[in-house]
Structure 1
Amino acid sequence: MIETLTRIPVAHYSNLKARAGYSIKIDKTEIALFKVTNGEVYALENRSPHPKGGVLSEGLVSGNYVYCPVYDWKISLVDGTVQAPDEGKVQTYQVEIKENIIFIVL
């Protein structure tokens, strides 16, 4: 069985500022977009894996990590893994950029 991927346009690349988070919604899923200083864009679910949560798009971005604004957990933008000593993982989403448009691939 061949899986069909859907590319959903979500933002203009030129509108994203480096080291800032942006919240988008696809159906009922909240996703945080992050543009890092080298220009790469990452997409994660917009909720910290901490039991009490936290909105990641409001977090501080440093390198390829975002810090949960509520609990200061350090989370990889690349693979969604929470860094030790904390534990957990958030969903990541594939990003494509074409002609200034950012797409999330589902």
Structure 2
Amino acid sequence: MEEYGIESVEVDPSLALYRYVHKSKASGGEVDVSFSAIIKSIQVVLRVSTHELATISSENVMSIELVRDDAGAGLRVIFDARDSTSEAKVIFEPEVSCRWWIVRNV
């Protein structure tokens, strides 16, 4: 996350937990992301000013990777969801957003 200029605001080595908060330069949007390598979980909170719009949490994280493409810069998260493909994309730049989906494997 430091690659995007985002410093951690919380670290708990006992859980391998890291938390990052990023505020959009263009709007009042903010994304608060925390994840734990030991628990294999991630939580994403989206806010505008101090108003919380959404909190999304999941366990069974298989991988988290930094991405930069036409949609922007952020994280791509893959989950183990049995017979389904579950993925999240958390964007920090140019504007904060989060897309989360589960698609059944046929």
TM over 0.5: no
TM-score, scaled relative to structure 1: 0.34
TM-score, scaled relative to structure 2: 0.34
Higher RCO structure, 1 or 2 (CA under 8 Å, sep 6+): 1
Q: Which has the higher strand share?
A: 2
